[in-house]
Structure 1
């Protein structure tokens, strides 16, 4: 484990007085979300990844799904009210969100985009999402995440 440092995500949560627990790990560039869940000693159903898409209209949308699941682009488009959505290119992620691949969080993006979280999140007291930097995760209640980023639960996998 690395020495604890504050990420932008943690500063946002502190500013909103949201209770969370941070977790640091030594990342490997090829590490999957399921491997991160294993390092954290957590059920992969409770560890969520953040995916950024662009709709046919040109609008951007954020989807938060369990790490072992794949985003269903048709269901995602339906949730977003778009004809279709596609994943953005990796090189577009940093300029658009302020986050790098593997460290993208739904919290604290440069601009808040419409965000959807997989409907299973509310089955848990706490879930994990990226803390905005590779090697850092935060654990918080799904209700707190939903309130901070105003995300909507949806069937998206």
Structure 2
């Protein structure tokens, strides 16, 4: 299979129209084919009752082992609250220069921060974080440029301040790694 493909796998019962819109945005940024599939995972295996969250490291291992047999860059899309042991929460995570990652909408919802529901803003945030994690799979590290999609997203404000695009420096690096 061609190495230059992206696979988005929905584990969160996302609407098909939404997934197709996300795929179109991602394809426009990377310029390579993006496929969308529905996946199934028994999420109880990844749940940590003490934290009331789902282990992002274990989910990435699952994505890698179940869907990483070919050379596509694969991102699992979730609705649950993710964490890794060293952080309170994560929005997403990917294997650097690998072929698997995860992104969740849980921490991207405006309602979580006492604001009114905003589906357009949620869509924009979700797309940015998917592009960000895919950037890691293509070998990009975090960027200091405030508007670059590869800027780290520690807080929701970080997500809102960046664009759904790579800065010139990261675009150049991306071109060299593909």
TM above 0.5: no
Q: Who wins on radius of gyration, i.e. which is larger?
A: 2
Larger helix proportion of the pair: 2
State the TM-score bracket (shorter-chain normalisation): 0.3 to 0.5
When normalised by structure 2's length, the TM-score is 0.31
When normalised by structure 1's length, the TM-score is 0.33
